Amino acid sequence: MSPLILFAVVLAYFLILLGVAWRTSRHATNDSFFIGNKDSNWMLVAFGMVGTTLTGVTFISVPGAVGSNGFGYIQLMIGYVLGYLAITFILLPLYYRLQLTSIYRYLEWRLGRRSYQSGAAFFILSRLLGATARLYLVVNILQATILDSLGVPFWLTSCVVLLLILLYTVEGGVKTIVWTDTLQTACMLAGLIICSVFLLREMDLSFIDSLERMRAQGLTRIFTVDPDSPAYVWKHILAGMFITIAMTGMDQEMMQKNISVRTLRDSQKNMLSLTVVLTGVLLLFLFLGGLLHLYAPLAGVTATGDKLFPAVVLGHFPAVVQLIFFIALISALFPSVDGALTALTSTFCIDILGLQRKKELSASAQVRWRRRVHLGFTALFLILIMAFKWLDDPSMIVVILKLASYTYGPLLGLFAFGLLCKRGVRDRWVPLVAVAGPLLCALIEGEQARLFEHYRIGLELLILNGALVLGGLFLISTPAGQAIKGAAHLSK
């Protein structure tokens, strides 16, 4: 397909998003931006959160990994379901009981102000690195497939993409992205289904026939029973559960959409619906991955891993399906980026600047501060994207994405201590403990061959990180009688 046509369609897609933003952000306030005036429709939130949970990296990587891992991703999915149940029945009731705008205020109530700021800071670090890394990957694909041939430089592509995201999020925030994420999730799912149907027709296979052929080629294997393997079944189930608890239940971006729903009951329905829909979508990603690995040898495609899906689409699909693929890819990316930009703004304004506590500031002054912070994070996104481009090292992106295990570990430890222990902490020491946990993890991971011989740390690194922080907090803990006053309120 002509790059000009692709560019025009992508631009039209952005214009639709801007139209949705204009419609939903009229008369928006800071409450609209931060928590959607607590009036979001739970069904829209649930559907839109599928797109936020899945990213452009997931869209490319999960199908590509079927060749090496089979359907082993299902091990993680079992853990995801357990994690979502824990969020639904443990964390959401807590957040609603406290009527939180920022979920990290819980840490202030329970442990103290330094604990609160430590949690917010680690969230900001994690989302900033993760969101910009994902955005870089997809902007790079757009650049290589469309804009290089038009003579558009990478820096300009990055600026335009970020400007468009800024324009449709700057006023409405959560109130807007609940709707834009719903639209983008629908586009992503449509692309996923259409690509799967096209592959089935090209190979003249039924659904049952395709599964049988995948089984014959060893693509449907699920469980790994070697305890020394990083993909050992119980490692993945436990890791999947704690990844979900930390990266969804303790993540402001994900939870601000949940707490934007009017009642706890509706929010819980949202989370349970998300669990069902997300499980189905991930199974469809795995099925698509199996189809791609069946089709690639027939079409003479030698690409593997992350390169397989784009290589098959761009080299062997008709123009209209290529177009659908690009829209789906963009739709898989943007819910995680626009949500991250909004959540980072919310967290910085509420938890770092403390705008809601500054009664001397008028409502209009608070809105001006929020806009400045939103613009500042957009500029920071651009700087990091250009840094990734300058490094131009695919392994660097893998390293950045892996940092989620390090940056979410302190959050897991902080919340676990608050929920599981009755003791207080010496609050001034909490930032040191939160930093020490990831540093110890890095040391252990670097020396794992000497420490554990054949055992290799995999996704359970997040659990180890959280456990180290939890242990450190216990070492600086105080008797229950000296705990923060808010703990008594939380236990009611």
Task: State the SS3 of 181-240.
Answer: HHHHHHHHHHHHHHHHHHHHHHHCCCHHHHHHHHHHCCCCCCCCCCCCCCCCHHHHHHHH
User: Which residues face 425 on adjacent strands?
Assistant: 477
- How much of the chain, in percent, has pLDDT values that exceed 70? 85
Average pLDDT over residues 238-262: 85
Give, in degrees to the nearest 5, the angle at Cα 480 between 479 and 486. Answer: 135
Domain assignment present for residue 66? The answer is yes
- Which of residues 360 and 316 earns the better pLDDT score? 316
Any domain includes 449: no
- At 297 the pLDDT is 92
Q: Which pLDDT tens digit goes with each residue over 203-234?
A: 999 999 999 999 999 999 999 888 877 788 99
* Domain interval for residue 195: 3-395
Q: Is the pLDDT of residue 240 over 80?
A: yes
Confidence of residue 434 (pLDDT cuts 50, 70, 90): very high
pLDDT of residue 175: 62
Q: Which of 131-135, 152-156, 400-404 has the lowest mean pLDDT?
A: 400-404
Task: Tell me what pLDDT residue 92 has.
Answer: 93
Most confident of 8-22, 35-49, 461-475: 461-475
Q: Residue 7 has what pLDDT?
A: 72
What are the contacts of 198-205 at 24+ separation with CB within 8 A?
198/317, 198/321, 199/288, 199/291, 199/292, 199/294, 199/295, 200/291, 202/295, 203/291, 203/294, 203/295, 203/298, 205/294
Return d(Cα 457, Cα 23) in angstroms, integer: 48
pLDDT above 50 (res 491)? no
Query: What mean pLDDT do residues 69-84 have?
Result: 93
* Residues ≥6 apart with Cβ < 8 Å to 487: 109, 110, 422, 424, 480
Domain membership of residue 342 (yes or no) is yes
Please spell the DSSP secondary structure of 393-452, one letter per residue. Answer: -HHHHHHHHHHHHHHSHHHHHHHHHHHH---EE-GGGHHHHHHHHHHHHHHHHHTHHHHH
Check which CATH number belongs to the domain holding 222 and give it: 1.20.1730.10
DSSP, collapsed to helix, strand or coil, labels residue 100 as coil
293 touches 67 (CB < 8 A): yes
pLDDT in tens, 112-125: 999 998 998 998 88
Phi, psi of 417 (to 5 degrees): -65, -45
More confident residue, 240 or 341: 240
For residues 433-455, one letter each, b for 16 or more C-beta atoms within 10 angstroms of the residue's C-beta and e for the rest, the string is: bbbebbebbeebbeeeeeeeeee
Does 337 score more than 80 pLDDT? no
Beta bridge partners of 261: 40
The amino acid that residue 405 corresponds to is: S
Give the model's pLDDT for residue 490.
44
* Of the candidates 248, 214, 197, 217, the residue with the CA atom closest to the CA atom of residue 52: 248
- Find the mean pLDDT for residues 277-299: 93
Residue with more model confidence, 292 or 488: 292
d(CA 137, CA 133): 6
Mean pLDDT of 287-301: 93
Distances (CA, A) of 488 to 116, 152, 417, 421, 492: 17, 59, 15, 13, 7
Are 337 and 165 in contact by the 8 Å Cβ rule? The answer is: yes
Q: What is the pLDDT of residue 288?
A: 94
**Residue 171: what pLDDT?**
60
Average pLDDT over residues 153-180: 76
Q: Is the pLDDT of residue 410 over 50?
A: yes
Cα 479 from Cα 362, distance rounded (Å): 41
How confident is the model at residue 307, as a pLDDT? 81
Q: What is the mean pLDDT of the chain?
A: 82
Rounded Cα distance between 271 and 261, Å, is 11
pLDDT digits over 440-478, tens only?
A: 999 998 888 888 877 777 778 889 999 999 999 999 998
Give yes or no for residue 245 having a pLDDT over 60: yes
> What is the mean predicted confidence (pLDDT) over 320-332?
80
The string of pLDDT tens digits covering residues 376-387 is: 999 999 998 888
331 domain residue, yes or no: yes
Which of 127-136, 257-266, 426-435, 476-485 ranks highest by mean pLDDT? Answer: 426-435
What's the pLDDT score for residue 252?
83
Q: For the chain, how many structural domains are there in total?
A: 1
Q: Which two tokens stand for residue 111?
A: 């442990």
CA 50, distance to chain mean position in Å, is 10
Query: Is pLDDT at 487 greater than 50 in this prediction?
Result: no
User: Which pairing describes strands 477-478 and 424-425: parallel, antiparallel, or unpaired?
Assistant: antiparallel
Q: How is residue 21 annotated by DSSP? A: H
- Token pair in block for residue 414: 């902080």
Positive or negative: CA dihedral 61, 307, 141, 327 = negative
* pLDDT of res. 489: 46
What's residue 56's pLDDT? 59
Q: How many residues make up the chain in this entry?
A: 492
pLDDT at residue number 62: 85
C-alpha span between 244 and 157 (Å, rounded): 33
Instruction: Give the SS3 label for residue 39.
Output: coil
147 phi and psi angles, rounded to 5 deg: -85, -25
> Contact, 133 vs 401, CB < 8 A?
yes
- 346, part of any domain: yes
Distance CA 456, CA 230 (A): 6
Domain for residue 241, yes or no? yes
34-54: average pLDDT: 64
- Kindly tell me the burial class for residue 95, based on how many C-beta atoms sit within 10 Å of its own C-beta (0-12, 13-18, 19 or more): buried
Question: In whole angstroms, what is the distance from residue 429 CA to residue 468 CA?
Answer: 15
Instruction: Identify whether 41 is part of a domain.
Output: yes
Whether the pLDDT of residue 98 is over 50: the answer is yes
> Is residue 183 scored above 80 in pLDDT?
no
| Residue 376 covered by a domain | yes
Count of beta carbons in the 10 Å neighbourhood of residue 227: 11
| 477 strand-pairing partners | 425
